[in-house]
A and B are shown apart, each in its own frame.
Chain A
Amino acid sequence: MPQLGETVTEGTVGRWLKKAGDQVAKYEPLLEVETDKVASEIPSPFAGTLSAILADEGATVPVGAPVCEILAAGEAPGAPVPAPAPVAAAPAPAAAAPLAVAPPEAAPQPTVAPPASAPSVPAPAVNAPAATAPAAAAAVAAGDAGQNNGARHSPAVRRLARMHHIDLSGIAGSGRGGRLTARDVMSHVENTAQASASTAPSVPRTAPVPPPSAVVPAAAVKPSAPAHPGAPPPAAPLPAQVTAPAATPSAAPIKVAASTVQPLPIAPPGPEDTVIRLSQMRKTIAERMVLSKTTIPHAWSMVEADVTALVKWRNQEKDAFKAREGVNLTYLPIVIQAVCGAIREYPMVNATWAGDSIIQRRHINIGVAVDVDEGLVVPVVRDADRYSLAGLATTINELVGRARARKLTMDDLTDGTITVDNTGSLGSIASVPIINPPQAAIITTEAIVRRPWVVDDAIAIRHIMNLCLALDHRVLDGAVASHFLQAVKKRLETYSG
């Protein structure tokens, strides 16, 4: 399973475009993978024959886990295939002899055997105790999965690890950037040999490793995933796997204590009930909302803006704009312009909580919430403050179109610094939005309604729009937030094109 975005931890196999036995050319589309919000075609990294499909359609597998086997062109069948049950390390004398334990790997390896070793001799079961603990096999598997997920190892390191049955995840690297060198592995082997010689002879050579489910946190933070501003927090109990948010792997770590949220008891579905399978997007939304609501202290504020002049201006301009630019002139790009201007006045809004610091972002990347059939996505307008009104309108129109066609790329969905949600399009006049972590604020634009309004000392009928702001109170205090909201309001009330 390839890494489809820096924070993505798992993917769901959507559709296989090839079946077992098919020939595949290098870079030929092999399968479709759905991650949080994107369906991507995965090109084959090799030319050869698709010999086995390991992850069926609909299966969700962690990044780095094998999804299929491809027999490289010219490779004979029977080449190293994942051994079903790697044998635990044999006692010391046998460990010195190279045992050909084939680790489960995403791609079959070339059949080149280490020159010094006896090739293709399977790990002799004779040497291993018959009662090979399943835990040991799991540990080996987990070690290899970790290896695939994380650092890439040199051929020498991989050969030494196989030879000595070493779980590499526990060894500190001394190479550049912490890379594990062959010498690191050799000194580990020597130290382990000394340690086991001086302690018990039965010390397993493979270091214990947490089970795979703990290695890949089920609910790792994915900063690019959507907030769902208008929706109430999920009322239904969540699947167990979303209840353990872990520390984020991103540059903006949010330290989260292991959540204590327990699923409430629920009655099993009756005959008239419908059970809806969770889509990948639904799961992500659920995880993200729980993460946001359980880790970010939300504060909320709302202002009313008299946008009568803006409405009048837009009504005058919209036909010419449409004729000139080819897209409708809506209020959203105008609001985004106002938000960008206000951010420049109050840049603290454009920030992220980083645990031991606050990172104030220089680029203003506006996430625009878009509802799609299955839920909602938040594509990002990068450097939104640099666009003209027409440019913004065109860009948003294009992003919305691609979002609804599920053609967004990971680039479209990453690096947002603040979210704007046009909840008013559905008639709402006030929302309590949920922040899209690791951002610090989300602003909604509510429906423009005609209201009796005090103007000077008279009552007039005016066009009024509410603006709602949720903010991360760790990053921002009420004063800055209010100033910011007022700045947006002022820009909209005095807008003149």
Chain B
Amino acid sequence: MATKTVLEGVRDAMYNEMVRDERVFIMGEDVGARGNVFLITQGFMDKFGRQRVIDTPLAEASIVGVAIGAAMAGMRPIAEIQFADFIYPAYNQIVGEAAKVRYRSAGGNSCPMVIRTPYGGGVRGALSHSVSVEALFYHVPGLKICVPSTPADAQGLLTSAIRDEDPVMVLEHKKTYRLIKGEVPDGDYTVPIGKAAIAREGKDLSVITYGLMRHFAVEAAEKLAAEGIDAEVVDLRSIRPMDRETVLASVTKTRRALIVHEDNKFGGVGAEVAAIIAEEALFELDAPVRRLCGPDVPAMGYAKEYEEAFMPSAERIAAAMRDLAAY
């Protein structure tokens, strides 16, 4: 077991897979000479050469489009979008092409590629370095979406994503990169895509969340434990496929569900989780399903006050949990 940051988990997953499989290569803005804006791939170009660590122009549609072609031709590309905020030009490539390759060709072709991108706020990233994009993609059949929140999950899920036979998006919350440290099992470590984790066991209510919010939710739950409220925290880890069983088992146990995400509320991942609970576990519910999410405003502002107003905090999550527990 080694203690790593999330950033190191991401780095080790890519490094190990590039060592293990020559088909794996990285392309993106500043991934080579600069070693990525967060220094994740620092030294990669020296180690693996310019053929496998490719600096691209500022052209996201091309980054993903080229990666799709390479994947269909037998490679294992990791396409990096420098910030999730820049992913929109690639939307057509991801949704219109990558997600449909296998279906369109009746299984004759596949598109084994990874699109990884840092997302989320809380780092004074302002309007174009704070966005959460998961809801724009999780509607689309044919895409898998991972949202690791711990170093082990970051490494394990990214490893699984690189080995997957279909396109996988790995959304890494940029605030967790250096903030969150944790142990990662040694050796060839993978985490199955589509499997949630119980971040904290409890019996009074379930908090269903992912990404950075998992850590805030656990912090809030520990705070509430002192007040006699025993909350369970479910970390989805994968948004699609979504682990319905774990969600439903938790809600069946606690009978109360609070969904927390940083992405804004309307049509967010929480809407789907709430719908699953309503469809499958109505008669287990002892309280309305609640959501605590970012506000429905166009972006997270730069000012600290704007950022704090946008991001759910441990305090706000604790308040929502308290409220639901008392219902």
- Using CB atoms and an 8 Å cutoff, list the residues of chain A in contact with chain B: 112, 114-115, 154-159, 175-176, 179, 181-183
Contacts and interface: CB of A to CB of B under 8 A. Distances in A.
Interface of B: 255, 280-287, 326-327
Contacts of A181: 286, 327
A182 B253 CA distance: 11
A291 B280 CA distance: 52
Contacts of A115: 280-281, 283
A156 B326 contact: no
A156 B327 contact: no
Contacts of A114: 283
Given A154-B255, A154-B287, 4 more contacts: A112-B282, A112-B283, A155-B286, A156-B284
A182 B255 contact: yes
Contacts of B281: 115
B277 to A, nearest CB: 11
A155 B327 contact: no
Q: Among B285, B286, B287, which residue has the most Cβ atoms of chain A within 10 A?
A: B286
B73 to A, nearest CB: 47
A112 B284 CA distance: 12
Nearest to B284: A156
A156 B277 CA distance: 13
Contacts of A183: 286
A114 B284 CA distance: 8
Contacts, number: 34
B286 A176 contact: no
A155 B326 CA distance: 17
Contacts of B284: 155-156, 159
Contacts of B282: 112, 155
B205 to A, nearest CB: 11
A96 B17 CA distance: 54
Contact of B327 (A112, A159, A176): A176
B326 A176 contact: yes
Contacts of B255: 154, 156, 182
A182 B286 contact: yes
B252 to A, nearest CB: 9
B327 A175 contact: yes
Nearest to B288: A154
For the complex of A and B, list the 10 residue pairs with the smallest distance between their C-beta atoms, beginning with the closest. Answer: A182-B286, A156-B286, A159-B283, A114-B283, A154-B286, A155-B283, A155-B282, A182-B255, A156-B255, A155-B285
Contact of B283 (A156, A175, A176, A179): A156
A182 B282 CA distance: 13
A157 B283 CA distance: 8
A176 B255 CA distance: 16
Contact of A175 (B280, B285, B326): B326
A340 to B, nearest CB: 44
B326 A154 contact: no
Contacts of A176: 326-327
A436 B84 CA distance: 69
29 contacts: A112-B283, A114-B283, A115-B280, A115-B283, A154-B255, A154-B285, A154-B286, A154-B287, A155-B282, A155-B283, A155-B284, A155-B285, A155-B286, A156-B255, A156-B283, A156-B284, A156-B286, A158-B283, A159-B283, A159-B284, A175-B326, A176-B326, A176-B327, A179-B327, A181-B286, A181-B327, A182-B255, A182-B286, A183-B286
A176 B326 CA distance: 6
Name which of B280, B281, B282, B283 has the most chain A CB atoms within 10 A of its CB. Answer: B283
A179 B280 CA distance: 24
Nearest to A154: B286
A408 B114 CA distance: 68
Contacts of A154: 255, 285-287
A181 B282 CA distance: 15
Contacts of A159: 283-284
Contacts of B280: 115
A55 B284 CA distance: 33
B323 to A, nearest CB: 9
A181 B255 CA distance: 10
Contacts of A156: 255, 283-286
B286 A157 contact: yes
Contacts of B327: 175-176, 179, 181
A203 to B, nearest CB: 27
Contacts of A175: 326-327
Contacts of B326: 175-176
Contacts of B285: 154-156
